[in-house]
Structure 1
Amino acid sequence: MTTVALSLALGAFLGGAPVAVAAPAVTVAAPAVTVTGVLDVPPPGANDWSCRPSAAHPYPVVLVPGTFESMAKNWSTLSPVLKAAGYCVYSLNYGVTNGVPATGPIAESAEELAVFVDRVLKATKAKQVDLVGHSQGGMMPRHYLAFLKGARHVHALVGIAPSNHGTQGLVFPESGLGSSGDNVLCAACTDQQAGSPFLTTLNSGGDTVAGPYYTVISTVYDEVVTPYTSQALDGAPQQVTNIVLQDKCPLDPIEHDQAPNDPVVHQWVLEALSQRTGPADPDFEPACA
């Protein structure tokens, strides 16, 4: 995907017209174009740097997009749900290669996440954040936790269809970007292939680190991170909950790309974020759509 195509896609997402940075009718902060060519447009409800966490919701929530996804598109439905529930919500674009987000080497993307979390903590004066990520965005923070001293800054990590142990297929088959072991266009695709050097290092010390709580939300219809069972994390039930959506909602047809937009997923995310001393309660009963 070219920078122009990405910009047009974002323009369509934001209402079908070209993005007018200086348009006087815009009542929100005008999107800034980064040097990489990606529009820094947050999803609805996110990146209010004046927000202060409440006693009921003391941890700011950082939403981490998946491969090829911008924060605006990936979190267009979950972000306003969290904001309406009373959370301070933040998100970022990261790992931009040739104008395409979340395609750079994952270890480097984790460093970008570390900088962003520090910014959120400084702005909100919170002690820790909760991380919610989709696909690569649910796995990449584990590198931050394990190797960049992120565990002390994170209360919980919620992964939606995360590539925790890679995929047996291609990350994005239609593009061809993930088809080469020497891929320079999408290093993140190579990193997410099962058995890659990156994943071998990430999981060599175990799936979790002491401190944060982990919730994994998977769907049996995931066609990208396969098999879907590879998304689960190994850990004590006091620290880890692995959810398969169809165990509670057998008729839920949601697949990988649309998982962040699923109302049942939203309920599980809210359940996980509501816990102070553990991951999501596996006995929680969502309202099936």
Structure 2
Amino acid sequence: MLPWKHVVRALSVLLLTAAATLAPTAAAQADTDKAETASATDHGWNDFSCKPSAAHPRPVVLVHGTFGNAVDNWLGLAPYLVNRGYCVFSLDYGQLPNVPFFHGLGPVDKSAEQLDAYVDRVLAATGAAEADLVGHSQGGMMPRYYLKFLGGAAKVNTLVGIAPDNHGTTLNGLTQLLPYFPGAKDLISEHTPGLADQIAGSALLTKLNAGGDTVPGVRYHVIATKYDEVVTPYRSGFLSGPNVTNVVLQDLCALDLSEHVTIGTVDRIVFHEVDNALDPAQATPTTCLSVIG
């Protein structure tokens, strides 16, 4: 029987080889990126000619999760917000060389730098002084690095996190097994640093959460689900501090069984709660009936 470290290494090599085999050339990747942007524009968002209205004066930037991208993560929520009068934008971040479509795998601090540049681009195009951020999974946690260390607090009014891993994840205890497989953690850190950064207790998360979860001047709204199988325990996504609202989805609708992926991609009850967080002055109760709203 092969030692576990060889099994882990073999699996890593296999995955990376498959990714490289499927990867397009640089030119083809550029064409793919353009096609994805065009697809988003066709669906009504990533329109850089959009000007925020008096009712919704801040553009909304959507931040995808790990293995996500600027289009697929938001095929439900982006049109929902556009139809309610928001200017909506989304970015790709955390790309790895020769790995198309599946992003959010690069180092979190570098991804935050990409978000910084993108928010500046959105603000310049729209003429707005501030933006609102809505992120799923890593996309709800990574922006906190931007807010705390890269000056983002001066440019952001609200951060809405949908199933964010603000204090990391144990993956139902699986990450606690890594020390028993020599080399496994190093392989993850080397090849997919964005994943390593999200493990509970990582150096990135220790730095991010030192001195408090929040920064002044930003409102935080966290939506978690009891059925989250990725961010575990699910309450690890909650934040402490002023201007924080933590919500358990099932407290809004006990019948909602959304897990980690569906809570951020197709759940219209969550979409309603996001709208409430972005526009609290016009908020209406989020209930099971919000799915038809």
TM-score under structure 2 normalisation? 0.80
Larger radius of gyration: 2
Q: Which residue is equivalent to 1:133?
A: 135
| Gap change, CA 1:111 and 1:171, over 3 Å in 2 | farther
Q: Which residue is equivalent to 2:218?
A: 212
CA distance in 1, matches of 2:23, 2:81: 26
Q: Which residue is equivalent to 2:148?
A: 146
Identity of aligned residues (%): 49
Q: Which residue is equivalent to 1:252?
A: 256
Q: Does residue 2 of structure 1 match 2:19? A: yes
State the Cα distance separating 1:231 from its structure 2 match: 0.5
State the Cα distance separating 1:39 from its structure 2 match: 6.0
Q: Which residue is equivalent to 1:68?
A: 67
Q: Does residue 202 of structure 1 match 2:198? A: no
Matches within 5 A, 1:132-281: 132-169=134-171, 180-183=185-188, 184-236=190-242, 239-260=243-264, 261-275=266-280
Q: Does residue 41 of structure 1 match 2:36? A: yes
Q: Which residue is equivalent to 2:181?
A: none
Consecutive unaligned residues in structure 2, runs of 5 or more: 1-17, 179-183
Give 1:33's aligned amino acid.
Q
1:65/1:133 contact within 8 Å kept: yes
Consecutive unaligned residues in structure 1, runs of 5 or more: 8-30
| Gap change, CA 1:6 and 1:52, over 3 Å in 2 | farther
Moved over 6 A (4+): 170-173
Greater share of helix? 2
State the Cα distance separating 1:95 from its structure 2 match: 0.8
Give 1:168's aligned amino acid.
T
Give 1:136's aligned amino acid.
Q
RMSD: 2.6
| Gap change, CA 1:266 and 1:65, over 3 Å in 2 | same
Give 1:128's aligned amino acid.
E
Q: Which residue is equivalent to 2:285?
A: 284
State the Cα distance separating 1:259 from its structure 2 match: 1.1
Would you say how many aligned residue pairs link Structure 1 and Structure 2?
A: 255
